[in-house]
């Protein structure tokens, strides 16, 4: 089984992650937690591309 060095949480800012939640996650997994700020543009474009492929095959 593979092991990891840290947990990366992707935060799009929709439901901000607070320090208490980070500490709770750390307590569960016993790994450092790194928060990365992201936007949803990539996901939006992926959904649009997928829908276009389904609608017009």
pLDDT tens, per residue, the chain with 57 residues:
678 999 999 898 889 889 999 999 999 999 999 999 989 998 899 999 999 999 986
Residue 32 contacts residue 7 (beta carbons within 8 Å): yes
Q: What is the pLDDT of residue 42?
A: 86
32 DSSP 8-state letter: -
pLDDT the model gives residue 24: 96
Helix ranges (DSSP H) in 1-57: 19-29, 41-55
Q: The pTM is what?
A: 0.64
Give the residue extent of every domain in the chain. Answer: 7-55
Query: For tokens 């992650």, what's the residue?
Result: 17
């Amino acid at each position: 089984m593979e092991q990891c060095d840290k947990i990366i949480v992707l935060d799009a800012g929709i439901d901000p992650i607070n320090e208490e939640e980070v500490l709770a996650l750390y307590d569960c997994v016993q790994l450092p937690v790194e928060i990365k700020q992201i936007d949803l543009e990539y996901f939006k474009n992926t959904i649009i591309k997928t829908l276009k492929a389904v609608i017009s095959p």
